[in-house]
Amino acid sequence: MTVISPAQPSSLPTGPARARAGGPLNGTIAVPGDKSISHRALMIGGIAVGETVIHGLLEGEDVLRTAAAMAALGAEAARGPDGVWRVYGRGVGGLVEPADILDLGNSGTSARLLMGLIATSSLTAFFTGDASLRRRPMARVRAPLEQIGARFVTREGGRMPLAIIGTAAPTPIVYRLPVASAQVKSAILLAGLNAPGKTTVIEAAPTRDHTELMLRHFGVAVDVAPTEGGTAITVTGQPEITGRTVRVPGDPSSAAFPLAAALIVPGSRVTVRGIGLNPRRTGLIETLAEMGADIAIANQRVEAGEPVGDATASASRLVGVEVPADRAPSMIDEYPILAVVAAFARGRTTMRGLAELRVKESDRLTAVARSLAACGVAVETAGDDLIVSGTGEPPPGDGAIATNLDHRIAMAFLVMGLAARKPVTVDDARPIDTSFPGFVELMRGLGARIDLPGG
């Protein structure tokens, strides 16, 4: 088997990329595997006993950072010539101390979930990342893990680089999430796997449940029950986890870009096969349907505990809507592309409760507003709300977009350029590879006009 290094060169050149209007987009495609599920398959496979076989793993830079980190912690994670990944786990509590610093690149998911795994292992690990990740706060995950018994040494504000010293005597906890966060919830549940007794997380609003579903797929008992003020998710520590086969569905956050492009480019019709349809990830599809989008779902099924299906989007006349704050957890990564779609709709689209966007790869709320304004779109922010006013016609475009190393900002505004009156240029397309390797080639295959440095 060949180990893929996260340090491998990006397939996209560094430098500005430009998207411009052309003909309709048409075709049937598959997008790379779900990033959230890919991370979890590698991590849980790494603490299972025996072999875990993963089909469709996303081979973007973020997930490859997780694979490299699990290998450094003693679990073999490698890709075979057939494209299938195999992980040979260490068992719960069996991780070993890494010989070097764990460099997690741009991946906040890798950082926060790995902290949970390491918190209840008797080892010390050092974390760092790229300039963007080193700016992102880790205090929200640090607080509950310190209650379990882990110790941290961090930069000011709980930022990386940091050291985590796992505890040999973990204490199970009951922790109420102060802010809805699937990453914090997952870190606590993963830490609880190597703690005696029951570890419980209480969430007031539902967040992504990929960790719970993946743990169940690996044979772990996960109890979910209503409780005062929310839902309690409980794992019982020190289970025997055995390797499994995992089929990773297409990432709905990646599918959002070609589907959105089909909605705003006249005459288009695009089908994305085999995408995840977890109800806690379908907020964008629900919102687009409210806006009048022609989106159909077919061939629905369940794989590795996750609902999957095929989505077809056709060019549509759209209207503005109000998106409630309680929908944010189910579509938090899709707001940049929703904001672009809203620029083509008739009327105001108000997206409420977007505080979480301020602590993503960039301050996405500010970045989206600034980028829309650069393309001639009427946009405003009010607290944590984003308000986009469209005319029902293509916006001017002609913007130069500063992505700040944010892959979703880059993809969203390349999609805008495919239907705006004038081209849109992003300053650097290279970060797209962190979540969607092959994005430009796939979009070009549908008929998109995207120009890269050097042609």
Could you tell me if 333 and 253 are in contact, meaning their C-beta atoms sit under 8 angstroms apart?
A: yes
Q: Which residues contact 137 (CB under 8 A, 6 or more apart)?
A: 157, 158, 159, 359
What is the token pair recorded at 49?
A: 């006993």
SS3 label, residue 206: coil
SS3 label, residue 335: helix
Report how far residue 320's alpha carbon sits from residue 49's, in angstroms, rounded to the nearest whole number: 51
Q: Say whether 333 is catalytic.
A: yes
Report how far residue 309's alpha carbon sits from residue 272's, in angstroms, rounded to the nearest whole number: 9
Tabulate helix, strand, coil % of the chain (nearest 5).
Answer: 35, 30, 35
Tell me which H or E stretch contains 309. strand 306-314
Report how far residue 152's alpha carbon sits from residue 126's, in angstroms, rounded to the nearest whole number: 10
Of 62, 310, 333, 428, which residue is the catalytic one? 333
Q: Which residues contact 74 (CB under 8 A, 6 or more apart)?
A: 90, 94, 95, 96
> Which pairs with CB-CB distance under 8 Å and at least 24 residues apart come from 402-405?
402/367, 402/370, 402/371, 402/427, 403/362, 403/367, 403/427, 403/428, 403/431, 404/132, 404/361, 404/362, 404/367, 405/106, 405/130, 405/131, 405/132, 405/361, 405/362, 405/431
Tell me which H or E stretch contains 455. none
SS3 label, residue 279: helix
Beta bridge partners of 314: 269, 294
Q: H helices of 161-220, where? A: 182-192, 210-217
Catalytic machinery residues? 333
